[in-house]
Amino acid sequence: MSASRDEIAAVSAYGERLVETVKILHGSGVLASEAPIVTAAGSRWFDLIAQAFDEAELREHYTPVLRPGCYVVHDHRLDADAMAEVKARDPHRQGELRPALEVFAHVQSLPEPGLAIVGLGKRDIGHEPDMPLPLRHYPRDTLATVDGAAIAPSTWRATHIMDQHLFLEIPEDAGLAVGDVIAFGTSHPCLTFDKWRHLLLVDETLAVTESVMTCF
C-alpha cells in the first residue's frame, strides 16, 4: 500500500518538530555534548527525515544519524515496496537499498502433484507480514555451481508454514525433486534475524567469507 499524502505530511511535520525540539534543548544549555546526536527515521521514511535534517543545517552543531531499521539487509517485499516509494518521491535519487538476506532449504517431500514440502519453518525464517518468498531453485545435481541456479517462477507460492516445514504450491510440471535447494527471501527481516545466532556472509559464488554474530 502506497503512502498517502497525509502520512507523508505527518512524517515531514514530525521531522520538523524533532529538529525544533533539539534546537531548543541545545539553546537552553541542558545538553552536555557540544554536538548532540539527533537520530530518527524508519526504512519507509528515511528520505523525509534526511530532508528535515538538511533543511535545518544540523551538521554544523549536531551529529545527525539516519536510522532506517533494515538498512543492513533490507528485504524482498515490505521494505522493497518502501524503497520504491522513496524513489518515486525523488526520481533523481542515486542508488537504492537492495535485499541481502536469504535462507536456503531443501525440498524434503513431494507428497502430491502441485505441492512441495520444504525444510523451512517458523524457527528459521520470518513469516509476517508476508510468507517467505521463493527466489531461486538449485537442482540437487548442480548445487556446486551458482550457474546451476534458476530464478523461481512467480507461480511458486508459499501457502502455509509450520514450526519446521513450509508448504510450497507449485505447478505440476515444476521440475522439482527431493533434495533440491530453494533460496527464500523475507518480508520484514528482523523476524529472521532473531532466529539465528550467526549469519553467513557469502560472495557472488556463495562461498562463505565471514560469520557474523547476531545480537538481537
The residue-averaged pLDDT of 72-101 equals 86
151 by DSSP, 3-state: which? strand
The residue-averaged pLDDT of 66-87 equals 84
Percent of the chain with pLDDT over 70: 97
Percent of the chain with pLDDT over 90: 47
Residue 96's pLDDT band (cuts 50, 70, 90)? confident
Q: Give 193-199 contacts, CB < 8 A, sequence gap 24+.
A: 193/73, 193/101, 195/123, 195/124, 195/125, 195/126, 199/101
- Looking at residue 14, its pLDDT comes to 93
- Looking at residue 144, its pLDDT comes to 60
Q: What's the distance, Cα to Cα, between the start and end of the chain in Å?
A: 28
Question: Which set of grid coordinates corresponds to residue 4?
Answer: 498517502
d(CA 122, CA 152): 21
Q: Which letter does DSSP use for residue 58 in this model?
A: G
In the chain the domains, ranked by start, together with CATH numbers, are 5-71 (no CATH), 102-213 (2.40.37.20)
Residue 65, beta-bridge partner list: 39
- Looking at residue 135, its pLDDT comes to 95
For residue 145, is pLDDT > 70? no
